[in-house]
Structures are given as structure tokens and as C-alpha cells.
Amino acid sequence: MSNRAEWAKRVAAWEASGRDAAAFCEGRDYSAKNLKWWAWRLRRSAAKPAPRAGKVRFARVTAKRETKASSVIGITVGGARVEVGAVADPNTLMVVLEALLASSGGRK
């Protein structure tokens, strides 16, 4: 019975040969079926992530929006002034500006 390391060498030699499994196994003491199975098994185990040591810890992350003084825009329409932060919704801002223009009689 061959061990995993020996099969890994056999599979590597087969893949490097460029031959099909049946041709590669001719005259050897193992079958093409076993060679293909080990190739599959070795690829499958290589694709699995390594087990983690210890516990996995998670941290709660929350988003917090703060408006800095440098990111505030002041808009004056008529006698009204509106300050808008950098995170303002453009559609809402347009509605507010149109309402201010309408209430000021179109004065800027």
C-alpha cells in the first residue's frame, strides 16, 4: 500500500508527462483509475482551507457619519439660508432649493 506522499509524487510525474493516465500507468504497479482518484483527492484536500487555531472573534462595526465644518455648503436664497452637508441627497436638495426660490419670488 502506497502512502499519500508517494501518490503525490506519482500524480506530479503523471501531470508533468502530458500523457493520459492509461498510457502513463502501463508497466507500473498501479492503475489509471487509482492514479486519477489520487489526483482528485490531492486537489480536493489542497483546496480546503487550513484549520484555524483558537476561536474566531468578531467585532461589531457601525458606520457613523459626521459632517465636518469644511464639508458644509451654505446656500442663501432670498432671505433664507440653507446649510447642506456633504452627504446630502441631491434630489432632496433640489426640492428644497425649488421651494426656496418659489417662496422668494424667484430672487436669488
Q: What is the pLDDT of residue 68?
A: 56
Q: What is the pLDDT of residue 96?
A: 77
What global pTM score does this model have? 0.44
Please state, as a whole number, how many other Cβ atoms lie within 10 Å of the Cβ of residue 37: 13
Single out the residue of 76, 48, 93, 63 nearest to residue 84, CA to CA: 93
pLDDT in tens, the chain (108 residues): 569 999 999 999 999 999 999 999 999 999 999 999 999 999 988 776 666 667 766 666 666 566 555 577 777 766 677 777 777 777 777 777 777 777 766 555
Residue pair 37/64 in contact by the 8 Å Cβ criterion: no
Which H or E run includes 9? helix 4-17
3-state secondary structure 66-107: CCCHHHCEEEEECCEEEEECCCCCHHHHHHHHHHHHHHCCCC
